[in-house]
Structure 1
Amino acid sequence: MPGGRLTHRDRRDIGAGLAEGLGYAEIARRIGRPTSTISREVARNGGPGGYRADHAHLATRRRARRREAIPHRDPATPPDAYGRDPDAVRDFAEQLAALMVRTGVPRMAARVLARLITDDSGSLTAADLVQRLRVSPASVSLAVRYLEGLEVIRRVREPGHRRRRYVIDDDVWLRAWMTSAQQHAMWAETAQRGVDVLDPATPAGARLAHMSQFFATLSDDMSGGSGTVEDALTVLAALRHAGTSLPVAQVATALGWPPDRVTEALSRAGPDRLTPAQLGALQGRA
């Protein structure tokens, strides 16, 4: 029945549908269930790439046994202070965690990080995480240690308490981006040392030279090196200071850059960044 619990056969049909590359809506039509039921089922059990019918069925039975051991809440969960459905927020957190797992993040670490991201405060205690994820304190501790090692979260002590909170900062993604850029630079430097050892004229040396160039370019692009938005801002600052349009060659001479670098920077600030209305307004004033 559409309103009943998923059966083992339903889950096998879901697994088969995912293997065929079907969308949630098509799978839902096949087994006569709401699409939201399929999306929640898959998100809670490894995501589209990790869903296994037998594992999902066993996991559901284990969750049911744990729920029997705690008081049941009112199935009609009231909205939170912002009028949001807490069940929908929780389901989204699990979908976000499933995406992280597909990119290589350990499952428990992904679930902890997803809960921190989707919590308005951006911080939770270990007890909060144990209660919301319904896992052991040891599981939370291992996940937190992993995330701290990546410098994605940090722990702070609550004033007047021994209790600690785990916090995710709003600039975490910028810091992660810059850390990644630094790691790419290390790859480039190490590969270049390999070129010097193996000789660039050899197949292995040439391979390492390509590797070094690739990671060096990636690091430059990510950290704001030449050929990025920083160059475009520098050229625009030069033109603003001059107070008039200048030939590329004159700008390049003033900045001490090759003309190609100025041309590349200007292409990043081309008219395609403006809307038709903005272009029209500017042309009308010319």
Structure 2
Amino acid sequence: MTQQDRQRIAAGLTDGLSYAEIARRLDRPTSTITREITRNGGPAGYRPQQAHQATIQRARRGTPAPPRADTPPDGLAEEELLERAIRAGMPTITARVHHDLMLSEDGRRTAAELTHRLKVSPASVSVAVNYLLQQGFVRRERDPQRRRDIYVIDDDAWYHAIMISERQTLESARAAMAAAENYGLDSPVGQRLAKTAAYLERVSLDIMESADRWRPLLR
């Protein structure tokens, strides 16, 4: 990997691109980009010049990358959670905000705290929390004394996120069925769309039923 590639990786991280999108732009496997970022400071600490020099030194020594000095042993699992969220398609800064909330002691942060802790702009935090609010991963509370919003991730966060996602899928199923009827249920296109609608509806309802059944595990 060239130094220019590493500069493009750093630019992608700054822009909040996912690992998959950075990999696509560099025409490289996502696993290569993930490994490059992970072994050179993670998404928050990646520096292209330092990464390039570290790679040259490792090649000369013929030894694997040393562990980060600021990462405790149990922090490796925490980094894996963050990286998996990014690989799944969540924007980098959004994933970092979600990760920071999830690992906070009481699951609560203000926008100012997130900005300070993650060293990103208030605008980036605003975009990230709005996405998380829409997807049900966090909720907003108002601090009446200090007139500020507090973002909270509680025990039901994954339940709400799953239900929102499946309701959106149900809407897609209904749209597919409406399109099938427009084409005619006896036509090849209509039959294909009707099968798709039936499949999406059944799977979504099953997932929602399962989410309700196992919700007590979150409490």
TM-score, normalization by structure 2:
0.63
Q: Are 2:190 and 1:205 equivalent residues in the alignment?
A: yes
Separation in structure 2 between the aligned mates of residue 175 and residue 200 of structure 1, nearest angstrom = 35
| Residues 167 and 204 in structure 2, CA contact (< 8 A), matched pair in contact too | yes
| Residues 136 and 164 in structure 2, CA contact (< 8 A), matched pair in contact too | no
Separation in structure 2 between the aligned mates of residue 123 and residue 229 of structure 1, nearest angstrom = 25
Percent identity, aligned pairs only, is 32
| Residues 41 and 47 in structure 2, CA contact (< 8 A), matched pair in contact too | no
Q: Quote the offset at 1:112 in angstroms.
A: 0.2
Amino acid at match of 1:144: V
**Partner in structure 1 of residue 42 of structure 2:** 44
The alignment partner of 2:150 has SS state of strand
**Change in CA separation of 1:91 and 1:160 when aligned onto 2, cut-off 3 Å:** farther
- For residues 118-137 of structure 1, what are the structure 2 equivalents within 5 Å? 118-137=103-122
The alignment partner of 2:39 has SS state of helix
Q: Are 2:190 and 1:192 equivalent residues in the alignment?
A: no
- For residues 69-108 of structure 1, what are the structure 2 equivalents within 5 Å? 87=72, 92-108=77-93
**Change in CA separation of 1:229 and 1:222 when aligned onto 2, cut-off 3 Å:** same
Q: Quote the offset at 1:111 in angstroms.
A: 0.5
Separation in structure 2 between the aligned mates of residue 20 and residue 229 of structure 1, nearest angstrom = 35
Amino acid at match of 1:160: Q
**Partner in structure 2 of residue 222 of structure 1:** 207
| Residues 155 and 167 in structure 1, CA contact (< 8 A), matched pair in contact too | yes
Cα RMSD between the aligned structures? 4.0
Q: Are 2:179 and 1:181 equivalent residues in the alignment?
A: no
Separation in structure 1 between the aligned mates of residue 144 and residue 72 of structure 2, nearest angstrom = 31
Q: Quote the offset at 1:127 in angstroms.
A: 2.1
Q: Aligned to 1:58, which of 48, 60, 64? A: 48
Q: Quote the offset at 1:139 in angstroms.
A: 1.6
**Partner in structure 1 of residue 57 of structure 2:** none
**Change in CA separation of 1:91 and 1:145 when aligned onto 2, cut-off 3 Å:** farther
The structure showing larger relative contact order (alpha-carbon pairs under 8 Å, at least 6 residues apart) is 2
| Residues 97 and 125 in structure 2, CA contact (< 8 A), matched pair in contact too | yes
Q: Aligned to 1:115, which of 74, 89, 100? A: 100
- Alignment: residue pair count: 174
Q: Quote the offset at 1:218 in angstroms.
A: 0.6
**Change in CA separation of 1:109 and 1:201 when aligned onto 2, cut-off 3 Å:** same
Separation in structure 1 between the aligned mates of residue 141 and residue 176 of structure 2, nearest angstrom = 39
**Partner in structure 2 of residue 166 of structure 1:** 151
Q: Please, which runs of 5 or more residues in structure 1 have no aligned partner?
A: 1-7, 28-37, 47-55, 62-75, 78-85, 231-286
Separation in structure 2 between the aligned mates of residue 103 and residue 88 of structure 1, nearest angstrom = 24
Q: Quote the offset at 1:89 in angstroms.
A: 6.4
**Partner in structure 2 of residue 32 of structure 1:** none
Deviations 1:17-67 (A, max 9, x none): x95979x9xx9xxxxxxxxxx884267149xxxxxxxxx542868xxxxxx
Deviations 1:219-242 (A, max 9, x none): 2211229xx997xxxxxxxxxxxx
Amino acid at match of 1:133: L
Larger radius of gyration: 1
